[in-house]
Amino acid sequence: MGRTQHWQFSGASLALQADVYKEIGGLEPLTTLEDEALERVLLEHRIPIDRLLSVGVTTSPRLVGRAGHGLSHDLTMVALSLRDERTRG
């Protein structure tokens, strides 16, 4: 494992060198969770993953996205949970 300063691993903040991509054999086409699949493949190949606080991104807060189970889905689940908590008081 590389340097870990935060837990997040998502498509918005990924960077991968072309030679590493070739080394792992590329990725199969996926409609969702491709960032998690990439993380698995990198770990299987014992390629270090750095999660640096110096890398910052801004992602869309949209609740409807292109992937059936992507960040927009997760944000929707959080929003519904918060709404339910407020309703219960």
pLDDT in tens, 26-37: 988 888 888 888
Share of the chain above pLDDT 70, in %: 85
Does position 47 have pLDDT exceeding 70, yes or no?
yes
Name which of 44, 10, 48 is nearest 25 in CA terms.
Answer: 44
For residue 23, the number of C-alpha atoms closer than 13 Å in the C-beta half-sphere is 13
CA distance 85 to 71: 21
Name which of 21, 36, 22, 46 is nearest 67 in CA terms.
Answer: 36
Longest CA–CA span in the chain (Å) reads: 54
pLDDT at 64: 85
For residues 89 and 21, the model is more confident at: 21
